[in-house]
Structure 1
Amino acid sequence: MTHSGKMSRWTWLMAMVALLAIFAVACSGDDDDDSSSAGFTDAGYKTAGLDKARVVTIDGDIPIGISSALTGEVAGLGIPIADSAEVGGEGITIKGKKIKWVREDDLCSPEGGPAAADRLVKAKVVAAIGPICSGGTRASLKIFDDAGITHISPSATAGDLTTPTRPEGPYVTFFRVPVLNADEAKAQAQFAYDTLKAKKAFVVFDTDDYGKDLAAEFQKSFKAEGGEIVGTPAGYEKKTTDFKSIIANIKAAKPDVIYQAGFYAEATPFLQQLRADADLKSIPYIGGDGIKNDELLSGAKDAAEGAYLALPGTTGSQFDTYKQKYAAKFKGNADSATFGAEAYDAATAILKALDKVAVEKGGKLEIDLKKLNEEIKKSSFEGASGKVEFQDNGNRAGAVVRLFKVVGGKYVQLEAGKK
Structure 2
Amino acid sequence: MKRFANRFSSRLLFSGLLILLFLVTLAGCGKEKGKAPVGGEKGAAGNTIRIGVAGAHSGDLASYGLPTVKAAELVVKDINAKGGILGKKVELIVEDDVCKPEMAANTAAKLVSAKVDAVIGHICSGATKAAIGIYKDAGIVAISPSATNPELTQSGQYPNFFRTIAPDDAQAKMEVDFAINRLNARRIAILHDKGDYGKGLAEYAKKFVETSGTAQVVLFEGVTPGAVDYSAVVQKIKGANADAVIYGGYHPEASSIVMQMRKKGMKTPFLSDDGVKDITFIKVAGSFAEGVYATGPRDTSANPLTIAATEAHKKAYGSDPGAFFLNAYAATQALLHAIEKAGSPDYEKVKAALRSQEVETPLGKIHFDEKGEAVGVGFAMYQVKNGVFSEVK
Answer yes or no: same fold by TM over 0.5: yes
Match of 1:290 among 275, 279, 285: 275
2:259 paired with 1:272: yes
Match of 1:229 among 217, 223, 247: 217
Question: Offset of 1:146 from its aligned partner?
Answer: 1.0
Structure 2 unaligned spans of 5+: 1-40
Over aligned residue pairs, what C-alpha RMSD do you find?
1.8
Match of 1:105 among 96, 105, 109: 96
State the Cα deviation string for residues 30-82 of structure 1 (Å, max 9, x = none): xxxxxxxxxxxxxxxxxxxxxxxx98743323210111101111011111122
Match of 1:184 among 143, 162, 171: 171
| Alignment match, 2:36 | none
| Alignment match, 1:46 | none
State the Cα deviation string for residues 117-153 of structure 1 (Å, max 9, x = none): 1111111111110111111111112210111011101
Equivalent AA in structure 1 for residue 330 of structure 2: D
Q: Which has the larger radius of gyration?
A: 2
CA distance in 2, matches of 1:212, 1:379: 34
| Alignment match, 1:323 | 310
When residues 138 and 238 of structure 1 are mapped into structure 2, their CA distance, relative to the original with a 3 A threshold, is same
**Contact 2:42–2:115, Cα closer than 8 Å, also in 1:** no
CA distance in 2, matches of 1:317, 1:180: 26
| Alignment match, 1:137 | 128
Runs of 4+ in 1 over 6 A off after TM superposition: none
When residues 71 and 135 of structure 1 are mapped into structure 2, their CA distance, relative to the original with a 3 A threshold, is same
Q: Secondary structure at the match of 1:246?
A: helix
Equivalent AA in structure 2 for residue 104 of structure 1: E
2:127 paired with 1:152: no
Question: Offset of 1:317 from its aligned partner?
Answer: 4.7
CA distance in 1, matches of 2:251, 2:372: 28
| Alignment match, 1:59 | 46
Q: Secondary structure at the match of 1:80?
A: helix
Task: Map 1:217-366 to 2 at 5 A.
Answer: 217-225=204-212, 226-233=214-221, 235-278=222-265, 280=266, 282-315=267-300, 316-334=303-321, 337-358=322-343
Structure 1 unaligned spans of 5+: 1-53, 359-365
Equivalent AA in structure 1 for residue 347 of structure 2: L
Question: Offset of 1:314 from its aligned partner?
Answer: 4.0
| Alignment match, 1:7 | none
Question: Offset of 1:198 from its aligned partner?
Answer: 0.7
Percent same amino acid at aligned positions?
Answer: 32
State the Cα deviation string for residues 267-316 of structure 1 (Å, max 9, x = none): 121111111102x1x21111111011111111111111111111034425
| Alignment match, 1:361 | none
Match of 2:372 among 377, 394, 399: 394
**Contact 1:205–1:262, Cα closer than 8 Å, also in 2:** yes
Aligned residues: 346
Question: Offset of 1:378 from its aligned partner?
Answer: 1.9
**Contact 1:317–1:386, Cα closer than 8 Å, also in 2:** no
| Alignment match, 1:377 | 355
**Contact 1:154–1:346, Cα closer than 8 Å, also in 2:** yes
TM-score (norm 1): 0.79
**Contact 2:43–2:116, Cα closer than 8 Å, also in 1:** no
TM-score (norm 2): 0.84
**Contact 1:63–1:126, Cα closer than 8 Å, also in 2:** yes
State the Cα deviation string for residues 241-276 of structure 1 (Å, max 9, x = none): 210110110110011111111111111211111111
